[in-house]
Amino acid sequence: MPFCDHKCIYCDFYSIITKDNIDNYISSLKREIENYSKQLNGKNIISIFFGGGTPSLLTPNHINEILLFIKSNFNLDTKAEITLETNPGTVDNRKLSEFRDIGINRISIGVQSFNDNDLKFLTRIHNKQTAVDTIKSADKAGFENINIDLIFSIPKQNKDIWEENLELAAALPVKHISAYSLILEKGTILNKMVLDGKIKLKDEDYDASQYEHTIDFLTSHGFEQYEVSNFCKPGFECVHNLSYWEHKNYIGFGPSAHSFVDNKRWWNFSSLKMYMSSVELKDSAVRGSEELTKKELEQEFIMLALRSRGLNLNILKKMYGNEWISVNNNYINKLVEDGFIIWSDNFIKFTKAGYLLCDEILLKFQ
């Protein structure tokens, strides 16, 4: 859902600052959905995720129209997780209740920070109180499964401010927290501000200390870390995200959407105009694709598993053989000795120290 009220300075996702063409867009979306349903007949759908942009800018009737069309074209599991991303300031009690009534059972709220100065820097449209009220309204509307996104290492955000963010998040009716460091992405307004010397980002040591504190705080408050940046109360892991990390098939609809099915990856045009024109001509909007080799698939499988809940070596051997384990055996043992990895019962998993350096560690595997 590419529609937004405002483009934040750090965001590099495709979005447009308009709500024109929503009805025409939904018509194109339905054509694309129907096209893939014919190709992927019989696939069981365990998750639907409305991402953006800001999907909550659409009406519940719009979202329901898409949901009903998916249900009529795919085999949707009766217990499917159905997530809607929303931003504080774009929903009220009534709208949240209507989203719940049409079948949305997981809400993901782009809080980013509970500090008003942080929010002004990030150019968010809401303030602290609006964020708190949105979470409470979602809970009141019947959403048991509530996620919030939070960002640390914002330039003027000190350790006390981040601590206050974590304390408030833990006190609210939230079951899942995605906590990210502020990342500099090419092409964003923030990137230009840094290049122009107007903003200086936090250094790596500060960032690492904040991340480590985040892990300690959330795990001591009943949240389990099941991926590098994701924490949840027991039983509230995000089914959708786990599907990515477990290398399962997924289909993306809409501009800039990516898909991965049976070892093939493809991606759509980013421009809404090009997306709609392409769907009009050929019922799809594929801009490019790639067929992954067995080695590439193995590397992705390992990387995604280690970034998440860990790597089952029995499954790895069954799918790809024993070569990776043999080649990296000494390195893995060294990581165990240094306290970065736990290796037990044919299962390897990062420790907290390992999560801190996971990108660096993963690069050294052969």
pLDDT digits (tens, 9 = 90+) for 119-145: 999 989 999 999 999 999 999 999 999
Residue 232 predicted with pLDDT over 90: yes
> Domain residue spans in the chain?
22-234, 294-363
The tokens of 267 are what? 């991606």
Residue 174 predicted with pLDDT over 90: yes
**What predicted TM-score, i.e. pTM, was given to this entire model?**
0.94
**Average pLDDT along the chain:** 94
Short-list 35, 63, 37, CA closest to 285: 35
Domain 22-234, CATH among 1.20.900.10, 3.30.1300.10, 3.80.30.20, 3.40.50.150? 3.80.30.20
What share of the chain has pLDDT > 70, as a percent?
100
Q: 95: Cβ–Cβ under 8 A, 6 or more apart, which residues? A: 56, 60
43, burial (CB in 10 Å: exposed 0-12, middle 13-18, buried 19+): middle
In CATH terms, the fold of domain 294-363 is: Arc Repressor Mutant, subunit A (1.10.10)
Mean local confidence (pLDDT), 204-210? 92
Q: How far apart are CA 122 and CA 184, in angstroms?
A: 12
User: For 19-60, what is each residue's pLDDT tens digit?
Assistant: 888 999 999 999 999 999 988 877 889 999 999 899 999 999
Which whole-number Å values give the CA distances from 256 to 15, 27, 90, 275, in the listed order? Answer: 9, 17, 23, 8
For residue 181, name the pLDDT band (cuts at 50, 70, 90): very high
Residue 204's region, left for phi above 0, alpha for psi from -120 to 50, else beta, is alpha
For residue 329, name the pLDDT band (cuts at 50, 70, 90): very high
Place of tokens 């980002």: 201
Place of tokens 């790895």: 316
Amino acid 184: pLDDT: 82
Mean local confidence (pLDDT), 258-274? 95
Q: How far apart are CA 54 and CA 226, in angstroms?
A: 26
